Amino acid sequence: MGTAVPAPQCAAGLKCNPFLSIHVPFEFSAVQPTNGRKAQAMKDEAKQVEQEVVMDSIRPAAKTDKGRRNFLISTAGVLGAGAVGLFADALIDNMNPGKAVEALGAPIEVDVSRMEPGQLILAEWKKKPIWILRREEWMLKTLSEPSLLQRLKDPDSKQNQQPAAQFINGNYRALRPEYFIAVALCTHMQCIPGYRPAPHTVTPWWPGGFHCACHGSMYDFSARVIEGSPAPLNIPIPPYYWVSKTVARIGEVDASGFDKNWSPDIW
Ligand code: FES
């Protein structure tokens, strides 16, 4: 007789979501079986998260208008809570092929033409959540600040967490600095970190980036891990290339000589 395997438990005491084998707050799971009452409870919970995040300013005030700011925050707040499947379809209207094929690891295509500056969206590839962040100029500037660089564990991205050298691209960890694409999993225990773009909101020196609430790992806008985090490595970059100016194909690269069997040290 087999031994029952206990449900995974985050150290922070959170129940874990079996979807994708990742650790996210159970209350926000988008894939657990739902009935009407549970769905309503999830909506209420997501709304509460949104309201809490609205308390933060998303970036220096002079750069925002209120309507746009609220849109960006609601997207980021919900995604940061780990709701993967529920919101991805609403946010990304040009993904293909079908879900069954995606689950097997086929590349997906994401159209970024309607993304606003500062907006984060979530896609799914190989059963993994994928971030696409349209970085603003001020976000890019933070990436080369000496005060940030000296806090990073791997500022030059020397560890095997991106498919090839062109994905390092200085401090950007992206083929095109404006669009950052990464696997949205913390390298500690695979929680989905929250999007925390507002400076000074996580620590007094916080430049903006991603914060994993599970055990406190911190990452900059290039998902490079900050010293003091339990996460050991930068968040991985998936293989991808730009099919056109507005469409990224995630799951393969077009460069010859690319190792098709490449995988990062930690997904
Ligand atoms: S999973 Fe532990 S800090 Fe992210």
Q: Percent of the chain at pLDDT above 70?
A: 60
Sign of CA dihedral 50, 52, 55, 60: negative
Q: How far is CA 120 from CA 131, 182, 256, in A?
A: 7, 11, 30
Would you say the CB of residue 186 lies under 6 angstroms from ligand 1? yes
Would you say the CB of residue 215 lies under 6 angstroms from ligand 1? yes
Residue 236: the pLDDT is: 98
Nearest ligand 1 atom to alpha carbon 189? 1
What is the C-alpha to C-alpha distance for residues 50 and 70, in angstroms, rounded to an integer?
9
What spacing in Å lies between the alpha carbon of 16 and ligand 1's midpoint?
12
Q: Taking residues 178-205, what's their average pLDDT?
A: 97
Domain extents for the chain? 87-250
Residue 173, beta-bridge partner list? none
What spacing in Å lies between the alpha carbon of 46 and ligand 1's midpoint?
21
- Ligand 1 atom 2: residue of nearest CA: 215
Residue 75: the pLDDT is: 41
Say if pTM beats, i.e. exceeds, 0.85.
no
What is the C-alpha to C-alpha distance for residues 98 and 73, in angstroms, rounded to an integer?
29
Of the listed ranges 71-75, 134-138, 181-185, 258-262, the one predicted with least confidence: 71-75
Q: In 3D, which of 184, 171, 180 has the Cα closest to residue 119?
A: 180
| DSSP-assigned letter for residue 152 | B
Residue 44: the pLDDT is: 52
Would you say the CB of residue 214 lies under 6 angstroms from ligand 1? yes
| Mean pLDDT (the chain, rounded) | 74
Chain segment 15-54, per-residue pLDDT in tens: 333 333 333 333 333 323 334 444 455 445 444 443 333 3
What spacing in Å lies between the alpha carbon of 256 and ligand 1's midpoint?
35
Would you say the CB of residue 212 lies under 6 angstroms from ligand 1? yes
pLDDT at 6 over 80: no
Q: How are beta strands 120-125 and 128-134 bridged, if at all?
A: antiparallel
Would you say the CB of residue 188 lies under 6 angstroms from ligand 1? yes
What are phi and psi for residue 249, nearest 5 degrees?
-105, 115
What region does 103 belong to: left with phi over 0, alpha with psi -120 to 50, or beta?
A: alpha
Q: In 3D, which of 174, 155, 179 has the Cα closest to residue 164?
A: 174
Using most ligand atoms within 8 A of CB, pick from 24, 183, 212 the residue to mutate for ligand 1.
212
What is the C-alpha to C-alpha distance for residues 119 and 18, in angstroms, rounded to an integer?
27
Nearest ligand 1 atom to alpha carbon 11? 2
Instruction: List, as one string, the DSSP characters of 163-216.
Output: SSGGGTTTTT-SSBTTEEEEE---TTT-B--EEE-STTSSSTT--SEEEETTTT
Residue 4: the pLDDT is: 42
Count, residues in the chain: 267
pLDDT at 136 over 60: yes
What is the C-alpha to C-alpha distance for residues 175 and 227, in angstroms, rounded to an integer?
25
pLDDT at 107 over 80: yes
pLDDT at 112 over 70: yes
Would you say the CB of residue 22 lies under 6 angstroms from ligand 1? no
What is the C-alpha to C-alpha distance for residues 267 and 185, in angstroms, rounded to an integer?
7
Residue 14: the pLDDT is: 40
With cut-offs at 50, 70 and 90, classify the pLDDT of residue 161: very high
More confident residue, 257 or 169: 169
Nearest ligand 1 atom to alpha carbon 231? 3
Tokens of 139: 């976000």
Residue 219: the pLDDT is: 98
Contacts of range 38-45, beta carbons closer than 8 Å, 24 or more positions apart: 42/83, 42/86, 45/81
What spacing in Å lies between the alpha carbon of 187 and ligand 1's midpoint?
7
The residue with tokens 């993904």 is: 95
Chain segment 55-102, per-residue pLDDT in tens: 232 333 334 444 443 334 334 333 333 333 333 444 444 444 455 555
Half-sphere exposure of 56 (CA within 13 A, CB side): 20
Would you say the CB of residue 191 lies under 6 angstroms from ligand 1? yes
What is the fold, at CATH topology level, of the domain defined by 87-250?
Rieske Iron-sulfur Protein (2.102.10)
pLDDT at 11 over 80: no
